[in-house]
Structure 1
């Protein structure tokens, strides 16, 4: 390499080594804003739960800090006041109180010397879910919600869901190592259940329709190859009715958090709910307080109801090997069963379903 090229490469290396990554001030900002999650439950005999926490910057990967020792009350415009009690840190509950239809309520939080108030909001009744339907679409399963309000009063809807599915390991391990001895396995590890909750904001409005009817509104799509459909799948759907302002809040929140990807999508912007600080307009609060009930419905879908789909399990490369006790003590595989004074074995991942994220405990509703 000649001298000029060497100097050129050294300059590039020095310049590159002196460039600091750009970190916008918002990413590392020490500001911590109040986050409010919960609603005043209007269903008789239920408990209202309000959870308080704090925002954190994007460089902080710790669990959000719970807001403890706050004074949390729900105040009716008719002057009634209900105080919530803190149980687990940051979680405030109220039992035995049902909001009165026709009255309006606001949330009042006092913490760190500052008062936060929501707008007064009415009691909004949620109609029942008519059904949760599913259809085979594009080599997968589309799950949808169906509901209606015969009084044409609801118009604004939101859904959340919890999904649970059963799955199996490729091989059944009947033996295990204990104290360097091979013994019969007491607890099977080939059958598991996994679960997840919805993360996207799912809302719709029937304002432009003559009748307040929602038909086959899409909730989630599952590819036919998904492990969720290997054996049995269940989804519990929660339906809530919103006010117009509540719908607009969640609709805008969805647009700026779920649809950002190109210059044609909504650009990042500041959005807050109906809760505000009494001290400063710059002391933001994240969340939206509402009063109403939640309707739920659960369905089950079994593999026998579906087309013959090939499930991608992640265990396609699993194989069986024959080992003696010495090799088993060295490599610690899963032991399937005895075989000619030796043992049929397989990698632990191929026999222990927990290694794919599930648990062995069957859900109560299964």
Structure 2
């Protein structure tokens, strides 16, 4: 009887039954397909090969050179590339002059007094601590036009910093920018006391650790080209975006931007590197491959060497942005989230260490001081966040 009734319903509503079957099939297939999708990381992304990375530039404006040496990490790694230390770096020209560069503990090699001649060719020579020698191709020096404008504009969720430039001669066409950014910030609490001989004394003014300035250097690739335009103009190129609520915007922010004109070959290198390192994530994104620069191992031409050596004049410009300049919707103030303060009685102060905590005030009972108020060091020492209490000379 049930079978007859079922057949009758199917006969009366055939379209509805077919629609039900198709719907069920689609749900099953969708579930299976979704369950089978797994992230795919191409082997090159996970590669742990440690190649030499070189970023070198001759500044013909003042006859100086800066070379940064490090070692590569896998594209999936979040670690900071390790610096290449104890190397020997020098600048050579085709007239036989050699200028030795001096290295520091960050892998940065610098030098001055390089004889600059517009008709000379220059190259970079490096010898690492394991006695491998690297040499760049000879390069010509390229003039860079001035920066027209370095400015900021409010966005929907933060601040956009942009640059504009042009070259009436049309000889530049290819540009690269990097920058130092500095911002002023404070700790959540003001530490008014310091430990001395297992007791607390008022903190001298010159030892205050409440206000800091932090400076960092850009690591992203900022390039642009006017090669496809009738005029050599770069208009409102986005340099960086600072999201609303960033510590950089709490008090005052400053950027020192450096602009360099590149050769077509240098631009092609940085463009390919940008695509390789910053556009990964999907099957249809550019996949990692060998990015050929102009530097090679003199004894092993097959060894991959990452980086490019170039040179020319450098144009720079600094600007400041105060929190008072921001529209109300982008203003934020430092919160106290995660920063607790506790009262510690005198007898227990010996259990507190200046390595982990700071005293921010006295705890009193009437006129009598019965202890001190403590908080964690990260909440009362601005230096913990990477800054310094020394105000920069350029700060306004």
Provide the TM-score with structure 2 as the length reference. 0.76
Larger Rg: 2
Q: Distance in 2 between matches of 1:121 and 1:226?
A: 41
- For 1:325 and 1:167, the matched residues in 2 are separated by 32
- Structure with the bigger percentage of helix: 2
Of the structure 1 ranges 353-362 and 304-313, higher mean CA displacement relative to structure 2 is found in: 304-313
Q: Does 1:325 align with 2:309?
A: no
> Hey, what's the Cα distance between the residues in 2 that align with 1:182 and 1:110?
53
C-alpha separation between the residues in 2 aligned to 1:334 and 1:114? 49
Question: SS at the partner of 1:288?
Answer: strand
In structure 2, what is the equivalent of residue 363 of structure 1?
392
Aligned partner of residue 124 in structure 1, secondary structure? coil
Contact 1:54/1:67, CA 8 A, preserved across alignment: no
Count of residue pairs the alignment pairs up: 339
Aligned counterpart, 1:99: 116
CA distance in 2, matches of 1:356, 1:94: 31
Q: CA RMSD in A?
A: 3.1
Q: 1:263 to 1:173 in 2, by over 3 A?
A: same
Structure 1 residues 295 and 345, CA, compared in 2 at 3 Å: closer, same or farther? Answer: same
> Cα distance, 1:53 vs. partner?
5.2
Q: For the Cα contact (< 8 Å) 2:69–2:83, is it kept in 1?
A: no
- Quickly say closer, same or farther: Cα 1:170–1:34, change in 2 above 3 A: closer
Structure 1 unmatched ranges of 5 or more: 1-21
Is 1:293 aligned to 2:313, yes or no?
A: yes
How far the C-alpha of 1:310 sits from its partner, in A, is 5.3
Partner of 2:9: none
- Secondary structure of 2:392's match? coil
Q: Which residue of the other structure, out of 55, 61, 74, is the alignment partner of 1:37?
A: 55
Question: Are 1:347 and 2:347 matched, yes or no?
Answer: no
Deviation, structure 1 residue 62:
8.4
Cα 1:140–1:50 change in 2 (3 A) is closer
Residue by residue over 1:242-282, the C-alpha shift from the partner in whole angstroms, topping out at 9 and shown as x without a partner, is 00110010000011111111112110111120123444431
Shift of 1:69: 4.5
Q: Superposed, which structure 2 residues align to 1:195-234 within 5 Å?
A: 195-234=215-254
Q: Which stretch shows the higher mean deviation, 267-276 or 310-319?
A: 310-319
> Does residue 75 of structure 1 match 2:93?
yes
What CA distance in whole angstroms lies between the structure 1 residues aligned with 2:298 and 2:359?
Answer: 64
Conserved? CA contact 1:115–1:279, under 8 Å: yes
* Structure 1 counterpart of 2:15: none
Distance 2:319 2:352 in 1: 43
